[in-house]
Amino acid sequence: SQKIEQNSEALNIQEGKTATLTCNYTNYSPAYLQWYRQDPGRGPVFLLLIRENEKEKRKERLKVTFDTTLKQSLFHITASQPADSATYLCALGRTGGGADGLTFGKGTHLIIQP
């Protein structure tokens, strides 16, 4: 069955350093991958989308890579700040699949320590 794995343990990073989060998947051939941020008790907020034919995408301090051979995406936050502390979700989607093709991982809790 399809499986998306994100580090279930909290990731503690010192302020100013680069935080790197991992999303691995199995039994899935995604056409695209998305990253969302979720704060406690709030709805997820879209951050970035990367398609299967793209290797890297950047947006301000955020960078996402997508390796369909390794079946892995890496999400980087450079110059991290305490305000970046949140849970980050990756989601995989299939072309034309609608939301049934958008499968979310359980998320990684990121803590940026001052």
Give the footprint of other proteins on this chain (CB under 8 A): 31-32, 34, 41-46, 49, 51, 89, 93-107
Q: Which is nearer to other proteins, 3 or 17 (CB)?
A: 3
Q: Which is nearer to other proteins, 80 or 93 (CB)?
A: 93
Q: Which is nearer to other proteins, 89 or 112 (CB)?
A: 89
8 A C-beta contact, residue 92 and residue 72: no
Provide, rounded to whole angstroms, the least separation between the CB of residue 97 and other proteins.
Answer: 6
Provide, rounded to whole angstroms, the least separation between the CB of residue 114 and other proteins.
Answer: 28
Q: For residues 87 and 110, what is the distance between their CA atoms, to the nearest angstrom?
A: 6
Provide, rounded to whole angstroms, the least separation between the CB of residue 60 and other proteins.
Answer: 16
Provide the token pair at 13.
């990073």
Pick the closest to residue 56 from 36, 79, 31, 75 (CA basis): 75
Q: Which is nearer to other proteins, 45 or 79 (CB)?
A: 45
Distances (CA, A) of 54 to 4, 7, 21, 23, 39: 20, 23, 18, 16, 28
Provide, rounded to whole angstroms, the least separation between the CB of residue 101 and other proteins.
Answer: 6
What number of helices (H) and strands (E) belong to the chain? 0, 11
